[in-house]
Structure formats: C-alpha cells, structure tokens
Amino acid sequence: MQKAGLIHPSNPGCYYYLPATVRSMEKLTRIIDQEMQGIGGQKLDMPSLCSAELWKTSERWDLMGKELLRLKDRHGGDYCLAPTHEEAVTTLVAHQMNVSYKQLPLLLYQITRKFRDEPKPKFGLLRGREFYMKDMYSFDVSEEAAYQTYESVCEAYTRLFSRLGLRCVQVQADTGNIGGKLSHEFQLPADIGEDRLLLCGNCSFSANVETMSSDRTDCPQCKTGTLVESKGIEVGHTFYLGKKYSHVFNAAFTNAQNKPSVAEMGCYGLGVTRILAAAIEVMSTEEGIRWPGLLAPYQVCVLPPKKGSKVDEAAVVAEELVHTLGETFSGLRGEVVLDDRTQTTIGKRLKDANRLGYPYVIVVGQGALEETPRFEVICQQTGETMFLSRDGLFDLL
C-alpha cells in the first residue's frame, strides 16, 4: 500500500491515508452503514478523549495496562484516547432518562478512530496504534432478545463480507478484556494472519485456538472430525456482554410492569482500516494491488496516447469518453480517471494502472480513430484484454 501511494508512514503504527485510500474507506463506510442501518443501527459519534473516571468505574483503567493511551489535561485530570467505547456508550444510554422497553432493542454505532498502544504495530494498516473501527453497541430487554440481536449482527457481518467478495470464517472466540459470555471473531484466512484457527473437516465447528487447549485435534462438536489448523486475520469481533457494563453504569429501561430494569448488552467491532488492508493482502498479485470491486477507489482508468504520437487526436476521444461514461452511468460518476500524463508512454501508464488495480482500464489508441472505433479494455478481475466497439464497451460497463 505504501509503494502504491495509498498510505504514508508518520510514526510507528500511524499513517497518512492518501486520497485513493480515503475514497476506498468512504465506500467501505457506506456499505457498513447500509448493513448496520439495515438491522436497525443508528449512527452516532462519541468523543475519543475520555475521562479516566469512566474507565475507573468499569475497572478497566487498570486492567487495560499499557495498551491504553493515557494523558493529562492542563488541570491534571486523567484521560485516555478511547480504544473502544463500552463505558462511554453505556453511560450515555444511562443518562437518557425514561427509555421504555418499547424502544428496545437500541443499536448505536459509530465509525471512528481508535487508539491502542500496541506493543508491536505492524503490517501497515493491519495493526496500527491509531485506526478506524466500526463499533456497535446493543441494548435489549432480555437475554433472549439480546441473543437475537447478536445473531442479526453476525448475519449482517456475513452479508457484508460476502458483498465484498471476501471469504470470511466465523469462529468461537475469547472475550479478552472486553468481557462477557459469548463471542465470535470474523477471520479472513491468510498466511500472514496472527490468529490460529481450528476448523473441523467434518462439521461446521470453528474456533480460535485461544478458546481451547490447543493441542486438541478431535472435534468437540461432532466428535468424529479432525481439527485442522490455519491462520487468519481478525477483521470483526462480536460479544454478548450481558449486564457487565449496564449494571455498573446503571443503563436501565422501564419494563412492561413500569419498573426499572437493567439492559442486556452486546458489542460488535469491525476493523475498517484492517478490512481494507486485509482485503488487499488476500487479493493482490505480484503485479499489483487488487481490490474488492466495491472498494476500488476508482472503477475505470482511461489512457489517451502519448503526446506527439501519430494518434494525438485520440486524446480528444479519450476525454469525451470519460465525460460520456460519467453522464451515462450514475454508478460511474466521478469514478473514471483520465491518466493524462501524456509525456509518459502508454506502456508505462498501463503498468501503473495495473499496479493500482483499477477494475477496468481503457486504452484509447489508433483503433479509437477508425471508422468503427475499437477500444482496448483490460478487465482486472478476469485478467482479460478485449477489443471492443463503443457499444460493446458500454455494454460491458
């Protein structure tokens, strides 16, 4: 990503996200918004600068150890840069008086920067000290209702990864310092993954080794299958929390008997920047970056000929093509790049386009000036090069 001009390092685990990356993250954000709002999620935005008081109340001020980035304000008050927001959201809900059981489930989420003083930030955006996370928190009337919400979030996550065209496995997971009773991770199988997974060859059982004695090879679910180990990148994590935070912060609602009742909670993270980097990690080739189609920063790159070549007029055709594509297809508006570095050869620019992984590259050369114009089209997904008429090109797109 660094070589391709997508990110630039600043200090350990912190990066500049360059324009193409921001475009891609905006696309990912929109898809996450659709999926979270599709199950009733409401988006909010909570402060990153959090008072120590909240974290002391949950006892995580000490539990989090060195991973929590702490600072003091000018009055000597203790603060942290939030690594997650269970405390903040629960106290917020606790302060919204008179929440009725009729208003639940309440699903609140945000997509914001999180801060964690990772001992070993590495692999670029895969493990940063400052990164984007989508974190959602659910409030329900009962354990049963909370389990249903938990299921609906897991289904939304599965849908999200399948829309992105990424193979993702849902595994049983440890609850770590977030706490709670039930937990799953969403893992992208990859050799550089830091998590070790055990998958049964015979049934649907799958777990992070952290949840079991790892030397185990027999499947605890079907009893007959053998567990096979593989590596994964954790891109999402769901937790059923019960009353762990709602009890401490007194996040209660009024139940059907008109009595206060403490809410059942869940929390659900997605590593936004990690998903982007992990997708690039599992999809890219030796030649260059490859994206899930929906996340490519631009969909089409149009290459006019080199200046001073015999077919200079083709440059006009190329410009007109960029314009017409945006006018014709609403999905391509603002999605077509004209690589007008016409001092550079087509070959060199084609190589750059290949490295950046545009889903479609259109070369406008000699053929575009003929009586029945032909365009050279390179389709990234299939690796195919096609020579298409104008109609053929529009059909393809």
Residues that bind ligand ATP in the complex, under the rule CB under 6 A: 84, 116, 118, 127-128, 131, 133, 176, 234-237, 269, 271, 273-274
Closer residue to ligand ATP in complex, CB, 78/210: 210
Measured from the CB atom, is 66 or 95 closer to ligand ATP? 66
Residue 353 CB, nearest approach to ligand ATP (Å): 29
**Stretch binding Mg ion (CB under 5 A), from 12-20, 121-129, 147-155, 237-245:** 237-245
Nearer CB in complex with Mg ion: 135/234: 234
| 307, 310, 316, 322: CA torsion to nearest 10 | -80
Return the range that interacts with Mg ion (CB under 5 A); candidates 98-106, 199-207, 230-238, 244-252: 230-238
CA distance 205 to 309: 61
**Structure-token match 């996040």, residue found:** 251
List the single partner that 271 binds among ligand ATP, Mg ion, none, CB under 5 to 8 Å by kind. Answer: ligand ATP
Q: Which is nearer to Mg ion, 169 or 338 (CB)?
A: 169
Residue nearest to ligand ATP (CB): 271
CA 281 to CA 269: how far, in whole Å? Answer: 20
Q: Which is nearer to ligand ATP, 17 or 360 (CB)?
A: 17
Q: Which is nearer to ligand ATP, 128 or 225 (CB)?
A: 128
| Residue partners of 26: CB distance under 8 A and separation at least 6 | none
| Residue (128 or 292) nearer to ligand ATP, CB | 128
The one segment of 228-236, 324-332, 344-352, 383-391 that binds Mg ion by CB under 5 A: 228-236
Nearer to Mg ion, 114 or 306 (CB): 114
Tell me which of ligand ATP, Mg ion, none is bound by residue 131, counting a contact when its beta carbon lies within the kind-specific cut-off of 5 to 8 angstroms: ligand ATP
Do strands 78-81 and 49-51 pair parallel, antiparallel, or not at all (unpaired)? antiparallel
Q: Is 134 in the site for Mg ion (CB under 5 A)?
A: no
Distance from C-alpha of 64 to C-alpha of 356, rounded to nearest angstrom? 39
Tell me the closest approach of the beta carbon of residue 180 to Mg ion, in angstroms.
Answer: 12
Site for Mg ion (CB under 5 A): how many residues?
Answer: 2
Instruction: Report what 274 binds from ligand ATP, Mg ion, none; CB cut-off 5-8 Å by kind.
Output: ligand ATP
DSSP assignment letter at 282: H
Q: What's the min distance (Å) between Cβ of 276 and Mg ion?
A: 17
Taking CB within 5 to 8 Å according to partner kind, which of ligand ATP, Mg ion, none is near residue 306? none
CA–centroid distance for 52 within its chain: 29
3-class DSSP assignment, residue 149: helix
Measured N-to-C along each axis, helices 19-38 and 272-283 cross at an angle, to the nearest 10 degrees, of 110
Region of 54-62, 105-113, 215-223, 227-235 interacting with Mg ion (CB under 5 A)? 227-235
Structure tokens at 250: 């007194």
First to last CA, the chain: 27
Question: How many Cβ atoms from other residues are within 10 Å of residue 76's Cβ?
Answer: 6
Residue 237 engages Mg ion in binding (rule: CB under 5 A): yes
In the complex, the smallest distance separating the C-beta of residue 18 from ligand ATP, rounded to whole angstroms, is: 18
Q: Enter the tokens of residue 194.
A: 């830091």
Smallest separation, CB 21 to Mg ion (Å) = 22
Question: Are residues 55 and 71 in contact, defined by beta-carbon separation less than 8 angstroms?
Answer: no
Q: How far is the CB of 231 from ligand ATP (least distance, A)?
A: 12
Q: Round to whole Å and give the CA distance between 364 and 370.
A: 11
Residue 244 touching Mg ion (CB under 5 A):
no
Q: How far apart are CA 119 and CA 66, in angstroms?
A: 8
Residue 273 or 342: the one with the smaller Cβ distance to ligand ATP is: 273
The candidate with the shortest Cα–Cα distance to 110, out of 188, 206, 42, 167, is 42
Residue 46: Cβ within 10 Å count: 16
* Cβ atoms of 374 and 363 closer than 8 Å: no
Q: Tokens representing 204?
A: 């649907």
- Write out the residues near Mg ion by the rule CB under 5 A: 234, 237
